[in-house]
Amino acid sequence: MVLRRSLTRELWLTVAATILALFLIVLSSRFTHYLAEAAAGRLPGDVVFVLMGLSTLAYGTVLLPVGGFIGMMIVFARLWRDNEMIAIATSGLSPLGILRLVARPVAVLVILTALLTLFLAPWALRTAVGVRREAATQVRRTLFREGRFHELTYEHTTLYARRVSPGGHRLRAIFVAQDVNGRPVIVTARQGRFRRTPSGVQELVLKNGYRTVGVPGRAVYERLRFTRYVADLHGLHFAATPQGSLPRDALPLKALLKQPGPADWAQFEWRLSPPVMLLIFVFLALPLAQTSVRSSRFTRPFLAVLVYLLYANLLGAAKVWVRNGQLSPFIGLWWVHLLFASAAVLFFLGLYGRHPLRLKRGAR
């Protein structure tokens, strides 16, 4: 009982610290990205922390398995390095008995990972799509206000509109001043609208207006009347407004399995993979964590990262093959799990022989 409490407490603290460290590394990068978007005017500042919270749920499907694996490797490696594993073995507790001691925290972590990957992460992605859609509208609405001049970074562009639609897409009574190659260009139009090209360039499509080019102080001007004029606004960035259907990784589980095709099966098996990975990592961690007193503290965590990267890359390749119809969904991603589960069994038997199967009641 004392050993169970001590080992469970150490495992919880180590796994929690590892997952927290991974979250801080990933979210700090995302936070910098969101701040850059907000500074460039692509996102309102008040949605940055909302997207950060949603990213936390989305990244949990990746960070919980790898964090749990690294945490278990650290704990088991410390037991080997401090010769506590030998003391535990002499007391009559088998390796499988050690795994039974940590079964409760591992079960909680597996259930939490399953909830994240099956339900919470897709919900977070769907919510993030809605937040970005609303943010795009809000940026347009706040960036261009009626009756105000707005200076853009591209070629010293100044934009004015007497009327702006509620969504910020359409403008009326428009004035645009640009400095193109040292020559002032003045464009006026009755109405216009913003349009985003497939390459990501923002365009302002103007209708029924005039384009005047000339240098102040000189009596030479070019005046052109147009019915339709397109002005490129490369320095203007809007948050991309998601349109159409949701991506598959954001679909709820019921919608994903309603009429599943190869891509739907690939996504479904991909969502099931994190909790399955975590279960297999439990059996891999104990034999892989075996180390000597003189070994480095960082060897086993580094090995855990390499094993996870190999596992995740094989799963990613299998997902692509299933999605493209090159692999049957019945085989799908399961062959990767079977491969690593077989490796875990071989490592276990190779290290302990038949001893993992002998559980002594008196040592519980």
* pLDDT tens digits, 263-315: 999 999 999 999 999 999 998 988 888 776 666 666 777 888 899 999 999 99
Q: Give the domain ranges of the chain.
A: 2-138+244-363, 153-232
CB 213 within 8 A of CB 221: yes
- Residue 351 — very low, low, confident or very high, per pLDDT cuts 50/70/90? low
Residue 192's nearest CA partner among 212, 168, 213 is: 168
Residue that wins the pLDDT comparison between 108 and 136: 108
Mean pLDDT within 187-200: 80
Structure-token match 């384009």, residue found: 211
Angle, CA of 335, 337 and 343, to the nearest 5°: 100
Give CA separation, 266 vs 42, 159, 216, 262, 302, in Å.
33, 48, 64, 6, 29
Q: What is the pTM of this model?
A: 0.69
- Statement: residue 201 has pLDDT above 70: no
pLDDT in tens, 141-150: 555 667 777 7
Taking the C-alpha atoms of residue 85 and residue 98, their distance in angstroms, rounded to an integer, is 9
| Residues in contact with 327: Cβ distance below 8 Å, sequence separation at least 6, in sequence order | 318, 321
- Statement: residue 316 has pLDDT above 80: yes
Taking the C-alpha atoms of residue 359 and residue 289, their distance in angstroms, rounded to an integer, is 21
- Statement: residue 117 has pLDDT above 50: yes
- Statement: residue 361 has pLDDT above 70: no
User: Mean pLDDT: which of 37-41, 114-118, 227-231 is highest?
Assistant: 114-118
Express as a percent the part of the chain with pLDDT over 70: 81
**What pLDDT score does 242 carry?**
44
**Spatial strand order in the sheet of 170-180:** 149-151, 158-164, 170-180, 183-196, 202-214, 221-232
Phi, psi of 322 (to 5 degrees): -65, -45
Residue that wins the pLDDT comparison between 48 and 117: 117
Token code pair at residue 266: 């690939």
- Statement: residue 153 has pLDDT above 60: no
- Statement: residue 154 has pLDDT above 60: no
Taking the C-alpha atoms of residue 96 and residue 106, their distance in angstroms, rounded to an integer, is 14
Token code pair at residue 210: 């005039």
- Statement: residue 199 has pLDDT above 70: no
**What pLDDT score does 357 carry?**
42
Taking the C-alpha atoms of residue 354 and residue 364, their distance in angstroms, rounded to an integer, is 18
Taking the C-alpha atoms of residue 273 and residue 89, their distance in angstroms, rounded to an integer, is 33
Residue that wins the pLDDT comparison between 148 and 65: 65
Q: How high is the mean pLDDT of the chain?
A: 81
**What pLDDT score does 144 carry?**
62
**What pLDDT score does 237 carry?**
45
- Statement: residue 58 has pLDDT above 50: yes
User: Mean pLDDT: which of 51-60, 82-91, 306-315, 341-350 is highest?
Assistant: 306-315
